[in-house]
Amino acid sequence: MLKRLFPLVIISTVLALSGCGHYSAPEGPEQRESRSIDLDKSERVRVEIKMPVGELDTRGGAQKLLDADFTYNVPAWKPDVRYHSAGAIGDLAIEQHGPMSSGGDAKNHWDLRFNDTVPLDLRFEFGAGEARLNLGSLSLRSINLEMGAGTLRLDLRGTPSRDYSVRVRGGVGEATVYLPKEVGISATASGGIGDISVTGLRKSGDRYVNDAYERAAVKINLDIQGGVGSIKLIAE
């Protein structure tokens, strides 16, 4: 149940910050949908994911560009999936419409699987809930994530073949980021109210780096800022 994932106080905080009213979307029967996007000749794809409220699971392993399953019981939350390719660049948008709040029995779960070989620029706008992003197997170019309230588990452990950047902006909640040891890591982390915990990295000036950073052929640059809550960086 969504009520167990993010209490009313967190929902109210997000609504107040966004300027939204407290209109609650009506619930209905549980709906299940699946969507797929075939691979094309695009050399890279820009992905934009907008999910104001719910549970988000994202990982690799798809044979197509995207294989996705959606489960929800608020009709207004029906996901909108759009893809367009122009030349070498594709644009994929996955978006939830409708109000951010509903009753205590509301359900909204997205399970997104992406192809591991297509270079991706990922942008997430996640409002309230729980995001579990296991992205280490993907061919990443960049990650940009903005989160309102809830918990984030971002797992980047893998063997990337190119440098990429990660930018995380958190609101209210907890963010845990897992980083690979075999590539160079350079990270900045700051929080407004809350703790910052770092494992497997050492302080170097105003950044945290791992032992492989100076000699690594591939590097990940991470910039994470939290609002209220904790930030954990774990390199293992």
Q: State the Cα angle at 6 between 69 and 157, rounded to 5°.
A: 55
Structure tokens given for 142: 């960049």
Coil, helix or strand for 135?
coil
User: Distance between CA 164 and CA 143 in Å, rounded?
Assistant: 8
Q: Name the CA radius of gyration of the chain, rounded.
A: 18
Kindly tell me if the per-residue pLDDT of 5 is higher than 80: no
The whole-number pLDDT of residue 172 equals 84
Pairing of strands 184-193, 207-209: antiparallel
Which residues make beta-bridge pairs with 207?
Answer: 204
Kindly tell me if the per-residue pLDDT of 134 is higher than 60: yes
Q: What is the largest CA-CA distance in the chain?
A: 56
| pLDDT tens profile 14-73 | 444 444 444 567 889 999 999 999 999 999 999 999 999 999 999 999 999 999 999 999
From 49-63, 98-112, 146-160, the region with the lowest mean pLDDT: 98-112
Alpha-carbon torsion, ordered 205, 211, 214, 219, to 10 deg: -100
The whole-number pLDDT of residue 23 equals 52
| pLDDT tens profile 201-227 | 999 999 999 999 999 999 999 999 887
The whole-number pLDDT of residue 8 equals 36
| pLDDT tens profile 159-205 | 999 999 999 998 888 899 999 988 999 999 887 677 889 999 999 99
Amino acid identity of residue 143, one-letter, is: I
Closest-CA residue to 53 (of 177, 169, 150): 150
Confidence of residue 4 (pLDDT cuts 50, 70, 90): very low
Q: What is the mean pLDDT of residues 119-138?
A: 96
Which residues make beta-bridge pairs with 179?
Answer: 235
Structure tokens given for 65: 């560009």
Distance from chain centroid for Cα 182: 23
Q: How many residues in total does the chain contain?
A: 236
Structure tokens given for 29: 């029967």
